[in-house]
């Protein structure tokens, strides 16, 4: 799920309008030194820890786009076993507004491109069984690093991931919602 969100964030930044420097915003919530994440709803799946490393096992934060990204998510599924899920992703950047210098989270338009993503296929982590989940996800964006380094500004980004139950016969209810605030280095 986090791999999907991170990839979505990078793609959306690449397709978003160019950043115009307005005011310099400090990194919020200590994102200059660590990932900040929280569950945004009391859903069935709750993320407990997020760890980002490189291939040697060393910390990869701020996230270096020139190195493969290894994500480890420790989570707990208090609901059913999920054999299919859909993911909707929203992206934000921490910057000042067009009309004032107040720093806050501003949406990055994705034009629906990050809605209805097949989470099982993208993250290759299904089924999600009831109980403890230890998800290891590898994301290699190194071939895109030169382009992404030009597009990603020196600011914090927020990725909001909503996971929906897509099991046969489900009503597509939300089973997880996680917000991750992070920083990339060029």
Q: Report pLDDT digits (tens) over 133-145.
A: 998 888 887 887 7
Give me the phi and psi of 97, to 5 degrees please: -80, 175
pLDDT score of 10: 55
Predicted pLDDT at 15 = 43
**The predicted structure's pLDDT at residue 154:** 78
Q: Which domains does the chain have, with CATH numbers?
A: 2-185 (2.70.220.10)
| Longest CA–CA separation in the chain, Å | 49
The pLDDT assigned to 19 comes to: 45
Burial of 43 (0-12, 13-18, 19+ CB in 10 A): buried
Low-confidence residues of the chain, pLDDT below 50? 15-21
């Amino acid at each position: 799920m986090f791999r999907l969100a991170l990839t979505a964030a990078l793609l959306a930044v690449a397709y978003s309008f160019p950043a115009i420097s307005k005011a310099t915003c400090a990194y919020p919530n200590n994102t200059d030194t660590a990932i900040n994440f929280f569950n945004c709803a009391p859903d069935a799946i709750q993320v407990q820890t997020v760890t980002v490393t490189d291939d040697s096992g060393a910390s990869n934060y701020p996230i270096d786009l020139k190195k493969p990204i290894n994500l480890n998510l420790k989570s707990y599924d208090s609901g059913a076993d999920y054999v299919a899920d859909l993911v909707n992703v929203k992206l934000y950047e921490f910057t000042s507004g067009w009309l004032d210098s107040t720093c806050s989270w501003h949406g990055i338009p994705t034009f629906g491109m990050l809605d209805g993503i097949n989470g099982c296929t993208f993250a290759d982590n299904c089924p999600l069984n009831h109980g403890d989940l230890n998800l290891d996800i590898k994301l290699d964006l190194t071939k895109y690093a030169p382009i992404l380094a030009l597009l990603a500004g020196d600011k914090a980004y927020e990725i909001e991931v909503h996971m929906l139950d897509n099991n046969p016969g489900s009503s597509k209810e939300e089973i997880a919602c996680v917000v991750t605030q992070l920083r990339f280095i060029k």
